[in-house]
Structure 1
Amino acid sequence: MEEKPTEISSFKMFGGYNRRYRHFSPTLGCAMTFTIYFPPSSSPSQKFPILYWLSGLSCTDENFIIKSGAQRAASSEGIALVAPDTSPRGLNIEGEADNWDFGVGAGFYLNATAEKWKNWRMYDYVVKELPKLLSENFEQIDTSRASISGHSMGGHGALTIYLKNLEKYKSVSAFSPIVNPTNCPWGQKAFSNYLGSNKSDWEEYDATLLIGKYSNISNPILIDQGEDDKFLHDQLLPKNFEMACKGVNAPLVLRMQPGYDHSYFFISTFIDDHIHHHAKALKCP
């Protein structure tokens, strides 16, 4: 399969198009899919800023595109949405599909160092390979104007990638992010398998620990968290991140939303706020 992306589906929505692509990823060593929402264009030369969306455990590139309703606001703001998959697929590594919270669909947006999981390099895929692929194949996308967002595991990915690459992204937001993975069961399971037993390696992918190192942030971090989220108290730990942000005066807007859970019903309720949050940053000179 070619590294150049091949279109596999296209659906019109709010004047623009959801287009899904497949390509071979040298970073991950397998075929990958991603989806782009292209907003309506007023001229062939118009270039759109982009918002990357990183999905959560067990998701593909399609969950956000199908369920979030983000295209309405993205269409009116003139922002392209880019949704990659959440892990390598089809490699047939022993045990890769035994659990929904580890392996396939659970890449955790890190670069694995354990030999068995050496293809799990979603950090490099999102930060390096995908932007290069987009800039080389889609003239209407301006990869120099990019922001990043995500949900749950993808919220973890968005925050850590943003903090470690402040020069690449204009803004960040998250829904129900795993903000302190070194301190919760999901993170500990993933990190011990992907990264081994050296806890200092884990710290490189923990937003609560990273915020102290990378606190030179101009735009506020926006996080929405449902108060009725069943994962709130043992997996997500937003108050830990809030305390860490306060400790270094990093700008954070943490909105605890009464009655809302961990689902796309919650995400679709507040997604417009996130699109507008990023639009402000992306349209600044």
Structure 2
Amino acid sequence: MAKLAFLGLGVMGAPMAGHLKTAGHAVTVFNRTRAKAEAWAARHGGALADTPREAAADADLVMACVGNDDDLRSVCLGPDGAFAGMKPGAVFVDHTTVSAAVTRELAQAARAAGLGYVDAPVSGGQAGAENGQLSVMCGGAQEDFDRAAPVIDAYARICRRMGDVGAGQITKMCNQIAIAGLVQALSESLAFAKKSGLEVGQVVEVISQGAAGSWQMVNRHKTMDEGRFDHGFAVDWMRKDLAICLAAADDVGASLPVTALVDQFYKDVQRMGGGRWDTSSLIARLG
């Protein structure tokens, strides 16, 4: 069992940290809003700290799941950041979806401080975090991954090293690109079925058994048909992720025309007041 720190106790981080504690690890948590850390500690019996540096002190691994590039920098760097408190040889594991650029920047800072670094964004949403069934895509040195993977297994359905630092984030971008186009196509299919007078559930029962079937179709068609969009991963966060994808595509000369279009459709959803709706809400703009 390892001595761990977990930074960020949102809808993903809180259950992930809980799985680590249940697995028998010693876990100290930090959250910018202290009340969330207090509630987590009361529920799980772990310790809490006032700063990332205090949480990271003497930890074997420090895990983070925060909001964006700037949030990640704030918990890593500076006199109260995790890097300042981590012991030499400890490994920082970042579960946040951020740019590959900030990942490489922070990995370089970690190496300069004698620390390991693994970028390990996750897919599976709030339900995946709560059920310990996340897909974890990692980038980093093999030896750092080998130390982190047995700990990550507490909340992972699959955990794979995709390459050097940054490869995990690039893989997560592939995930978000695929989801964006798929959810738009599913939205159009369901909206077309409904306006044509068909019963959506019956349509899905048939077409989900063929080449059109997908996880999104099976798990989201009913709530999409009912206009319920409360499954956790918000449109605001999806637009953040798609902006990262589009910027990275420019860097490597890749063309993402469907992704760029769907990003604008999510912008329409934001204008409808749906910034906190989940990503299946694309159907709402189709009327």
Q: Structure 1-normalised TM-score?
A: 0.29
Larger RCO (alpha carbons 8 Å, 6+ apart): 1
Q: By percentage of residues, which structure has more helix?
A: 2
Q: Return the index of the structure with the highest Cα Rg.
A: 2
Q: Structure 2-normalised TM-score?
A: 0.29
